[in-house]
Structure 1
Amino acid sequence: MKAFINFAHRGASGAAPENTMAAFHKALEQGANGIETDVQMTSDHKLVLMHDEAVNRTTNGQGYIKDYTLSELQQLDAGSWFSEAFKGEQVPELKQLLALGKDRGTFINIELKNGIIPYPGLEEEVIAAVREYGMEERVIISSFNHYSLVHCKKLAPDIATAILYMEGLYQVCDYAQTVGADALHAFKYAVLPELVAEARDRGLAYHPFTVNAPDEMKRLLKAGVSGIITDYPDVLHALLQQEEV
């Protein structure tokens, strides 16, 4: 993954309802070459894309994803909360995004959402899906649950992983290597030029999140990050064309 990656955060979530196929398609239209998403599991063990553990905020339903079957979940409206123009958008399955990414040459950052609600077998199911679509070289599996990332590396050493973290981690490159991670997905304020330089020297990529202001994008581009996770991939795309990254 040596190309600079413009990761659309939950798709182009500034322009379409997050984690829907509409947001993923919009991201590609806006110049993203990567998509960041969140994976969880239904009661019938299907992999679906939603950030929150509960459906309340981004659908017209109530309750937890873990208590819905896939069929029940896909009867919910996942678009109207954002705009009536997106009425009827469904909660997508991971395989739908993998199919889109495979066809378009897109990088996919799959965040495992198993820090609050444990989903037994989530790592195995995600890796199996990635392999089914032949996306091993264009997927990064990330999580705030670093135990889960260690498990993923044991299962699939060939698939990249990234530690998600918020504040400064002491000797972060050393820590990342103990976890076996390939990338650092840090909150934007925890990313400093000297850390980026050290990470690069040690073969680690920095992909900070969630970077929406052009000035912040410019600061991080100057620092030499390998990618940026943003709600506005069109804004980042325009800057990249100016910077010729």
Structure 2
Amino acid sequence: MHAEERPGGRPLVIAHRGASSLQPEHTLAAYTTAFDLGVDGIECDVRLTADHHLVCVHDRRANRTSNGTGVISTLELARLEELDWASWKVLDDGSAPEAADEDPERGRILTLRRLLTSLVDQNQELLTLIETKHPTRYGGLVERQLVTVLREFGLTIGDLPNLPHVRVMSFSLLALMRMRGLAPQIPLVYLVEAAAPRMSFDGSLPSGVNAVGLDVRIVRRSPSVVRAHQRRGHDVYVWTVNEREDVERCLELGVDVLISDRPRDVMALLD
């Protein structure tokens, strides 16, 4: 049985790092824009700061998505809050995002606590995909801190009405096994890149993991992988689905979840 409820049988559409084609990734604006679009859920990456706050940043370093430099894990939250995390963004049409001068949070680094507060305020059962990034100097502390924060919001005891439905994802099998031990009621997603271990291609997953997150390049090259996981009853997530051809391929294969930088365009195609 699939865990994810699919409206009208279509795949769920998840905003990758927020609506990241429309707003700077991992900013609060990227997520509030996604909420306004009516997405089925959101995705974020989390890293620990030097003072052990979980922040929503994809890269190991601050260089690409801020006006600062340095490794996230070596910088304290107060230093990261001094940086501008928005002005680097150039939209698909070559323009910069519209500045919201009245928005004091624009350009501010987003903590996981702030994102979860915004999600809970939606009073919706939005699918919330949280990826823990590894390797990191902090090892298992990432998952321990994640469970601590999720517990503050009542999000470690399974899916509840009118609250985000959390799924924890990782390329690290060890990270997923830590999560299974710390919060066994949170469903897990094993992420698989194009250069993947063979186990993922026969549809097998580690014990306690019932969903796979496939690189869209795998789906293009080997659609049989999707069917192999479906035969075993696994949910199939695909990232990052931005092009019409990939949307149509995933729809034909019956995947459960599409993770996209362009959720507005993907929803329009599906509708």
TM-score by length of 1: 0.90
Structure 1: 5+ residue stretches without partners: none
- The one of 95, 109, 115 aligned to 2:129: 109
For this pair of structures, how many residues does the alignment match? Answer: 240
* Matched residue, 1:127: 147
How far apart are the structure 1 equivalents of 2:97 and 2:258? 30
Q: State whether residues 204 and 229 of structure 2, in contact with CA within 8 Å, keep that contact through their aligned partners in structure 1.
A: no
* Matched residue, 1:170: 198
Local SS of the residue matching 1:162? strand
Local SS of the residue matching 1:55? coil
For residue 27 of structure 1, what is the amino acid of its counterpart?
A
1:17 aligns to 2:17 (yes or no): no
- The one of 3, 6, 15 aligned to 2:5: 3
Could you tell me the percent identity over the aligned residues?
32
Shift of residue 43, structure 1, vs aligned partner: 0.9
Local SS of the residue matching 2:86? coil
1:158 aligns to 2:185 (yes or no): yes
Shift of residue 170, structure 1, vs aligned partner: 2.9
* Matched residue, 2:268: 238
Cα deviation 1:184-231 (Å, max 9, x = unaligned): 111012135543334234331111101100121111011000010100
CA 1:119–1:71 in structure 2 vs 1: closer, same or farther (change >3 Å)? farther
Larger mean CA deviation between 5-14 and 126-135 belongs to 126-135
CA 1:126–1:42 in structure 2 vs 1: closer, same or farther (change >3 Å)? same
Q: State whether residues 15 and 43 of structure 2, in contact with CA within 8 Å, keep that contact through their aligned partners in structure 1.
A: yes
CA 1:203–1:132 in structure 2 vs 1: closer, same or farther (change >3 Å)? farther
Local SS of the residue matching 1:181? coil
Local SS of the residue matching 2:98? helix
Structure with the higher fraction of residues in helix conformation:
1
CA 1:119–1:86 in structure 2 vs 1: closer, same or farther (change >3 Å)? farther
How far apart are the structure 2 equivalents of 1:164 and 1:30? 26
CA 1:77–1:140 in structure 2 vs 1: closer, same or farther (change >3 Å)? same
Q: State whether residues 226 and 236 of structure 2, in contact with CA within 8 Å, keep that contact through their aligned partners in structure 1.
A: yes
1:49 aligns to 2:62 (yes or no): no
* Matched residue, 1:144: 171
How far apart are the structure 2 equivalents of 1:193 and 1:222? 10
How far apart are the structure 2 equivalents of 1:220 and 1:84? 30
How far apart are the structure 1 equivalents of 2:199 and 2:73? 36
Local SS of the residue matching 1:176? coil
Structure 2: 5+ residue stretches without partners: 7-11, 90-95, 101-105, 160-164
- The one of 102, 106, 109 aligned to 1:91: 109
Q: State whether residues 22 and 97 of structure 2, in contact with CA within 8 Å, keep that contact through their aligned partners in structure 1.
A: no
* Matched residue, 2:247: 217
How far apart are the structure 2 equivalents of 1:121 and 1:156? 14
Shift of residue 86, structure 1, vs aligned partner: 4.5
* Matched residue, 2:42: 35
How far apart are the structure 2 equivalents of 1:238 and 1:182? 29
Q: State whether residues 16 and 23 of structure 1, in contact with CA within 8 Å, keep that contact through their aligned partners in structure 2.
A: yes
- The one of 209, 223, 227 aligned to 1:181: 209
Local SS of the residue matching 1:207? strand
How far apart are the structure 2 equivalents of 1:185 and 1:80? 31
* Matched residue, 2:66: 59
How far apart are the structure 2 equivalents of 1:9 and 1:122? 21
TM-score by length of 2: 0.82
The CA RMSD measured in Å over matched residues stands at: 1.9
For residue 48 of structure 2, what is the amino acid of its counterpart?
M
